[in-house]
Amino acid sequence: MDTPAAFADGARSPALPIRVFILNDHKMVRQGLSDLLEHHGFEMVGDSGSAAEAIHLIHILQPDIAVLDDRLPDGTGIEVCRELRSAAPDVKCLILTSWDEQHAVRAAVLAGASGYVIKRVGDHNYLLDCIRSTAAGIPPIGRDVRERVAGNLYATASAPWLKAMTQTERRALALMARGLTNRQIGQEMMLPDAAVAGCVSSVLQKLGFRRRGQLLPVPIPRAWQLLH
């Protein structure tokens, strides 16, 4: 099988269709997104409603872009993206979320995703533009924004007000904020893969990004507020 041509910076050639995978736990949503993307010239390579299945399929299918829903029955798009950064590093990810802009960008930074897409009824062009720009090597989140949010999360890891986290979880959060993958965190903390995945899940749950009932994101002050 021929490998599609790509630019030196990892962007896909505009002459080739952008290959997309969708992760969403609602079958009708997956079908609707697939129909929309195919209508606009994208190539749908697969979809799933399960975090675990999606990691397996994306690793095999190697799409250009994976659109990952933020909340799933067996995990989050954040966790899937973090796993893919080790298992399929060439796949670019977008987090599809209903959070507001502040929490959405924080979720994308924690995931190591290229960006995020806010769920907006009827605003199809927004999603299409995000996918196209990501595939072209122009991430929706600029480096300055990413660095500012990462710095905020890093400061949060040592903030006394976040009492729910253990020392191990605080250290994992600090490493996540620095952009380390799960594999790199395991090497840094000398933990097996399963322990890292569990720790990351607990961190996300305590920040309000992982489903357990109807959790809301923890209000994280800006970095300068944490340091005074």
| pLDDT digits 0-9 by tens, 174-219 | 999 999 999 999 999 999 999 999 999 999 988 888 764 434 455 5
Q: d(Cα 189, Cα 37) in Å, to the nearest integer?
A: 41
- Higher-pLDDT residue of 10 and 171 is 171
* Domain stops at, among 140, 171, 193: 140
Q: Is residue 203 part of a domain?
A: yes
Boundary of a domain, candidates 86, 119, 140? 140
Which residues have C-beta within 8 Å of that of residue 129, sequence separation ≥ 6? none
Q: What does the DSSP 8-state code read for residue 32? A: H
Segment holding 199, helix H or strand E: helix 193-206
> Domain check: are 36 and 50 in the same one?
yes
Same domain, 134 and 178: no
- pLDDT tens digits, one per residue of 61-117: 999 999 999 888 888 999 999 999 999 999 999 999 888 888 899 999 999 999 999
- pLDDT value at residue 101: 85
Whether residues 112 and 88 share a domain: the answer is yes
Domain interval for residue 90: 19-140
Quick one: angle between helices 77-87 and 193-206, nearest 10? 150
CATH number, residue 45:
3.40.50.2300
| Residue 120 confidence (pLDDT) above 80 | no
Domain-located, residue 171: yes
At 7-58, the pLDDT tens digits run 445 566 567 899 999 999 999 999 999 999 999 999 999 999 999 999 999 9
Given a contact cutoff of 8 angstroms between Cβ atoms, the answer to whether 63 and 80 are in contact is no
pLDDT for the residue numbered 12: 60
Residue 121 and residue 75 in one domain: yes
Domain-terminating residue out of 111, 140, 169: 140
